[in-house]
Amino acid sequence: MNPPGLVGACTAMLRRDLTLAWRRRGDIAMPVLYALIVTMLFPFALGPEDTLLQRIAGGVVLVTVLLAMLLALDAMFSSDIEDGSLEQLVLAPQPLALMLVMKILAHWLTTALPLIVIAPLLAGMLHLPVQVMPVLVLALVLSTPMLSLLGAILVALTAGTRRSGMLLALMLLPLCVPVVIFAAGAVAAAQQGLPWLAPVAWLGAALVLLLVLAPLACAAALRIALDA
């Protein structure tokens, strides 16, 4: 039997991960519910004044999405490690980095995309002006893949450990500082009527760089973590 080609392997990988996620549809809803509840807590804590909520809306939505993604990151490789399919992936003839891109893509589709879809709703709950919404969604579309890619490297590094939840947060959040700054900067600039293209362009450039480098780093990290 001939091994499948590169494209075939990639689509098979993607289809497998998406099918697995679809079989457990409840898990997809969890980060969304989490983000909704966290956003709901802010008006309770800070008071329901429109001007205050409007000012913090962009930042709150970004940070909430980041935290919701952090919660879901842990599951990226855990089931594959348990049943041993990750070792098979490492041994497979196809390049590991490419296979990991497919896994990260599937993970982004199942966790970040639902969050981006409800982000305007979350921002609306905090009275973010409607004309700023497209910028917020654009900033999220560019920054969430970066979080997935950075997170994948760190999840791969902690693959060999047992207690990794809080550790993952400790490692990931400092690395996310630039992403948060530029994404929130774009939203804040749009809110003040200033040009917001520059921070968005920086986000795009960083995303392209990460798209190239992060899968390679992720593959290297996974080899380190599984090499016991």
Partner 1 sequence: MSKWIPLWLHKLSSPPIFYRFAGSLRPWMLALALLTGVIALYGGLVLAPADYQQGDAYRIIFIHVPSAWMSLFIYGIMGFAAFLALVWRIKLAEVVAMESAPIGAAFTFITLVTGSLWGKPMWGTWWTWDARLTSELVLLFLYLGVIGLYHAFEDRRQGARAAAFLALIGIINVPIVHFSVNWWNTLHQGSTIRLLGPSTIAPGMLWPLLTMMLATKFYYLASLFGRVRTDLLDLESGKDWVRKLAAVEAAR
Contacting positions for partner 1 (CB under 8 A): 153-154, 157-158, 160-164, 167, 170-171, 173-175, 177-178, 181-182, 185, 188-189, 217, 220-221, 224-225, 227-228
Taking the complex as a whole, the smallest distance from the CB of residue 26 to partner 1 amounts, in Å, to: 29
Query: C-beta of 111: minimal distance to partner 1 in Å?
Result: 22
Nearer to partner 1 (CB atom), residue 41 or residue 167: 167
Take residue 176 and report the two structure tokens written for it. Answer: 């996310």
| 212: nearest Cα among 139, 158, 146 | 146
| Distance in angstroms between the alpha carbons of the first and the last residue of the chain | 32
Give min distance, CB of 163 to partner 1, in A.
7
What's the min distance (Å) between Cβ of 20 and partner 1?
Answer: 26
Q: Is the CB of 36 or the CB of 63 nearer to partner 1?
A: 63
For 79, phi then psi, to 5°, come to -70, -35
Cα 13 to the center of its chain, rounded Å: 19
Which is nearer to partner 1, 12 or 63 (by Cβ)?
Answer: 63
Torsion from C-alpha of 21, 26, 28, 30, nearest 10 degrees: -150
- Give the residue with the Cβ less far from partner 1, 5 or 165: 165
Written as six digits, the tokens of 228 are 């016991």
Alpha helices in 92-196 (DSSP H): 96-107, 113-125, 133-157, 165-191
Output 188 or 211, the one with its CB closest to partner 1: 188
Buried b / exposed e over 45-66, threshold 16 CB at 10 Å, is: eeeeeeeebbbebbebbbbbbb
Q: How many residues does the chain have?
A: 228
Q: Shortest gap between Cβ of 122 and partner 1 (angstroms)?
A: 23
